Chain A
């Protein structure tokens, strides 16, 4: 029980990671795939942020009377990863727009049929 509650955020990470990956793999809708990809990435952000916490630690700002600080580095790393994630999502959505324009659909199986019925 202690193991489950004590690692509460890591369980959330695992669940989100699996939900995200499953969505990417199972959905045929290109936008839903991107949503899945986002959930997957967010789970990794959670993982990093959880890693950075130090039990009983304060925010990493020097203040009087504070002895223990959380580790700010994973948070900074994740800021970078978030930016990368946003850029990826933007590019993916732009591609979906172009796919919709040229194929008239964003369903994977219909696109596949369109490409192979020629």
Chain B
């Protein structure tokens, strides 16, 4: 069994997906999906544990030796990301039961769970595989299923935003494909490790540089790096809330992981630093943090507000990548984890409000904080974590990010990070003001607290936000190992 876990992590949801689609309506599809997600989370936990104990796991698919066969190669970096994805899935599914019943037509429920599992398969697949073309295949599995998931939203804009995402996503994936083709033409291999060994001898070729650029732009589209983020706010706003929770907490994180892999494992770091890639990441990161945070302040729809905030958070991760130091990468990895926790918690809490009042407009939620104290509490703590208040997970990310910037005496990014946090105070404050300090809009409806099935996963994430803000052994420890792997030859 031991080694097969790496493969099972992908195969279990893949097999369950078509199965769930043909199950009868009712709660059976949900139960099966939930069971699958728990199994995946356990596998991902075991995988990370064994990687931390025993080093890199290499799994040869079908017994074909790499570099000819496909290899799943797991080190601390992807084991960590896989754990994030699997755990978020396992927390999203209990939440999905009521939320999906409310927001998705009954006859589509089995296919909804099927698409969700396929999306999980794709995301986990990307993290597991050590084959650069295989990444493309899994990327498309997760993207296609997320287009379908987004289009399940209630309003008609769900269709147009899904279409918009499809066009942008496909262009991104095709750019990635072009890049992989160009790299293959010069190295003759698709195995990341093998490619990493061969690339140094062909780096002077224009083809390789072009391939690198195509891959960067393609993935930047997928990870919604400013200014390629235009698909994200619409997609997150009009998707069913469960889908938003899941995608916001996992999809962009996995794209960040692919970016890190290509930049630091496949290509030698000296090359990455010699190209303008790192400066571009810092620039795009800063622009993203500032502009998206300002946009967030002016949103009238809470989901859209948080979506813009996600674009800003991706900006922070891009800053960490751009610094290209061990601390910078650590900050990116820590923020990857922490942002999944805080955005997951916030979107879940918003989902609880939508469940009760069927609206996510900021002028409709006035005074609801007193009617839904637990939901309100979750938004407050999630919001504080987003701002980066000490004692929450968000503080740890910001701390490492600022440390990384100070190490390089990069004063402008430091200022941007601090201004970004202040802007976050404004938009989070706007939410809290509407929820608590505005008088309740009297429309005759009595709003009560959200059902327990929504609150428990939400508070699970909220408590995790606090826990990982106080005890950083797991996040910082793992991120340190992972960053060391990525930054192999980098200056400390």
Contact = CB atoms under 8 A, between A and B. Distances in A.
Contacts of A58: none
A92 B163 contact: yes
Nearest to B173: A84
A84 B190 CA distance: 19
A24 interface: yes
A40 B181 contact: no
Interface stretch (B152-160, B239-247, B287-295, B433-441): B152-160
A88 B166 contact: yes
Nearest to A13: B178
A98 B151 CA distance: 9
Interface stretch (B20-28, B52-60, B140-148): B140-148
Given A99-B160, A102-B156, A44 B177 contact: yes
A51 B184 contact: yes
B181 A47 contact: yes
Contacts of A40: 171, 174
Nearest to A89: B170
Contacts of A68: none
B191 interface: no
Given A44-B178, A98-B151, A74 B184 contact: yes
A30 interface: yes
Contact of B140 (A88, A92, A111): A88
B108 to A, nearest CB: 12
A87 to B, nearest CB: 6
Given A91-B144, A103-B156, A44 B181 contact: yes
A99 B185 contact: no
Interface string A96-117: 1011001100000001000100
Nearest to B143: A88
For chain A, give the interface size range: 20 to 34
Most chain B beta carbons < 10 A, residue from A30, A48, A81, A99: A81
A51 B181 contact: yes
**Which of B137, B147, B157, B170 has the most A CB atoms < 10 Å from its CB?**
B170
A24 B171 contact: yes
Given A44-B181, A74-B184, A81-B177, A99 B163 contact: yes
B133 interface: yes
Contacts of A30: 163
Interface string A26-65: 0000100100010011001001100100000000000000
Contacts of B170: 37, 41, 88, 92
B144 A44 contact: no
A44 B174 contact: yes
Contacts of A84: 136-137, 140, 144, 173
Given A30-B163, A80-B137, A84-B144, 18 more contacts: A21-B171, A24-B167, A37-B167, A40-B171, A44-B177, A84-B140, A84-B173, A87-B144, A88-B170, A91-B148, A95-B147, A95-B159, A95-B163, A98-B151, A99-B163, A102-B156, A103-B160, A111-B160
Interface of A: 21, 24, 30, 33, 37, 40-41, 44, 47-48, 51, 73-74, 77, 80-81, 84, 87-88, 91-92, 95-96, 98-99, 102-103, 111, 115
